[in-house]
């Protein structure tokens, strides 16, 4: 039998460093040609495996693969597709194993969040049962930073850096104009369930008066009166008020803030996000002139301002995943372990997929200040090293040069997949 092949897939919302993990996987696999044959990547994630659309990464040059390290988004395509449970959709799992068998794939590396780790875990179990054992290794990724065990998730540090840099810069803009113009600025950031990203934006404020002055977390039920009082006091003290609001900010009843005012008289969903909603609320209550921004995908694809720490860690988990597989480990995920010393350090540890799957790590309450509007020193200590360092892409004619893949598909050997 020829050497076993490896299948790698990207899953869920992409980040500015998930391709750095892909780079780590492929470069490491190429160093072990004695043990690993081809690295196939799923075209559009796991869907590529079901459809037998396997990108043959051996057709990509070493320099293209190296360029993945500084290319944002999912170069092989990702997807929002969660395999159902084995009980609910046995055929999907059987198909996966069939495709793996047809292409002599014995290693399955799945790069994603909690759902993906769960899928990888199930595939590991089933493959044992059917007598075609697949080594399944998870590769952590999510801007939401909500995976357990690992100290942080690759992808988070870069979005954290983007929002902190952005609110610092926009804050200076507002500060310079506030005497005669805009007094309130609201930046909406990602994080539907937890305030990790919003919290990281708090790093921008290093001295009293620095932006952001207020952070609205999903963890802290929104109290309008208290909030408006805080806005007024900031404008009085500093001349302006810069606010970061998490898209997941909630009313005391658990409904999303933006949803509350989010429908017009016909029941149409409000077009704006939570930033315009909060800005308009402030205008109504105080009369202050406002501006708002919603960076949306910009924040999670901003490779131009990625955190060097994040890029290194993203690469390292990809590399470690291959090394775990070669060391005979199975159903595990490389995790980032923070050193105990005062100076930040990290190393790669190991987490069982069964411990990672479907567990959401929330932000500790002691990262949020007592009044609920900012982060604590404890929070700062956690966030600061994750945004440290710059790792600039190469530029040509003023624009970052990102990898362009050929995406040559392996020849199909099976019948067409009919879901």
Cβ proximity to its own copies, 221 vs 272, nearer residue = 272
Cβ proximity to its own copies, 280 vs 323, nearer residue = 280
- Binder of its own copies out of 64, 111, 127, 166 (CB under 8 A): 166
Bridge-based pairing of strands 4-10 and 105-112 is parallel
Query: Does residue 13 belong to the site contacting its own copies (CB under 8 A)?
Result: yes
Strand locations in 165-204, DSSP E? 184-189
CB of 212 to its own copies, least distance (A): 13
355 is catalytic: no
Segment interacting with its own copies, rule: CB under 8 A, options 106-114, 198-206, 248-256, 317-325:
198-206
Footprint on residues 273-292 left by its own copies (CB under 8 A): 273, 276-277, 279-280, 291-292
Query: Does residue 116 belong to the site contacting its own copies (CB under 8 A)?
Result: no
Distance (Å) of CA 342 to CA 46, 265, 286, 308, 403: 41, 56, 44, 20, 38
Identify the active-site residue in 56, 115, 118, 144: 144
Letters for 125-164 (x = contact with its own copies by CB under 8 A, - = none) are ------------------------------------x--x
Cβ proximity to its own copies, 370 vs 418, nearer residue = 418
CB of 5 to its own copies, least distance (A): 23
Cβ proximity to its own copies, 170 vs 316, nearer residue = 170
∠ Cα 130 121 408 (to 5°): 85
Question: What number of other Cβ atoms are within 10 A of residue 404's Cβ?
Answer: 11
How far is the C-alpha of 112 from the C-alpha of 126, rounded, in Å? Answer: 20
Phi, psi of 205 (to 5 degrees): -90, 105
Closest CA to 202 of 62, 415, 369, 27: 369
∠ Cα 344 73 149 (to 5°): 40
How far is the C-alpha of 24 from the C-alpha of 155, rounded, in Å? Answer: 14
- Binder of its own copies out of 94, 366, 392, 406 (CB under 8 A): 392
Footprint on residues 59-78 left by its own copies (CB under 8 A): 71-78
**Residues acting as catalytic residues:** 144
């Amino acid at each position: 039998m020829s050497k076993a092949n490896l299948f790698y897939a990207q899953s869920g919302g992409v980040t500015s460093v998930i391709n750095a993990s892909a780079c780590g996987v492929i470069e490491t696999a190429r160093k072990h040609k004695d043990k690993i044959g081809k690295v196939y990547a799923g075209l559009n994630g796991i869907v590529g495996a079901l459809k037998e659309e396997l990108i043959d990464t051996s057709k990509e040059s070493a320099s293209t693969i190296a360029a993945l390290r500084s290319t944002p988004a999912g170069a092989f395509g990702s997807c929002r597709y969660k395999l159902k449970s084995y009980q609910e959709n046995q055929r999907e799992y059987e198909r996966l194993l069939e495709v793996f068998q047809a292409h002599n794939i014995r290693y399955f590396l799945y790069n994603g969040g909690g759902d993906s780790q769960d899928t990888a875990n199930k595939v590991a179990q089933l493959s044992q049962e059917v007598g075609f054992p697949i080594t399944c290794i998870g590769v952590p990724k999510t801007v939401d930073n909500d995976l357990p065990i690992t100290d942080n998730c690759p992808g988070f540090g870069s979005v954290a850096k983007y929002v902190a840099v952005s609110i610092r810069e926009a804050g200076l803009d507002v500060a310079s104009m506030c005497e005669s113009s805009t007094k309130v600025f609201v930046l909406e950031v990602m994080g539907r369930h937890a305030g990790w990203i919003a919290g990281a934006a708090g790093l921008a404020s290093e001295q009293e008066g620095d932006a952001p002055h207020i952070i609205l977390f999903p963890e802290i039920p929104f109290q309008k009166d208290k909030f408006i009082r805080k806005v007024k006091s900031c404008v009085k003290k500093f001349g302006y008020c810069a606010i970061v609001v998490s898209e997941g900010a909630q009313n005391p009843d658990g409904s999303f803030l933006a949803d509350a005012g989010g429908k017009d008289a016909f029941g149409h969903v409000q077009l704006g996000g939570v930033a315009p909603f909060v800005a308009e609320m402030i205008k109504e209550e105080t009369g202050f002139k406002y501006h708002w921004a919603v960076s949306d995908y910009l924040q999670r694809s901003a490779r131009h301002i990625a955190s060097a720490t994040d890029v290194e860690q993203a690469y390292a988990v990809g590399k470690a995943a291959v090394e775990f597989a070669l060391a005979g480990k199975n159903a595990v995920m490389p995790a980032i372990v923070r050193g105990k010393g005062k100076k930040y350090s990290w190393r790669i540890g190991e987490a069982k997929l069964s411990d990672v799957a479907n567990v959401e790590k929330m932000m500790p309450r002691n990262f949020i200040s007592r009044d609920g509007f900012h982060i604590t020193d404890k929070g700062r200590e956690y966030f600061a090293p994750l945004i440290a360092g710059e790792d600039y892409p190469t530029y040509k004619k003023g624009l970052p040069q990102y990898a362009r893949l050929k995406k040559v598909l392996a020849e199909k050997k099976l019948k067409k997949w009919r879901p």
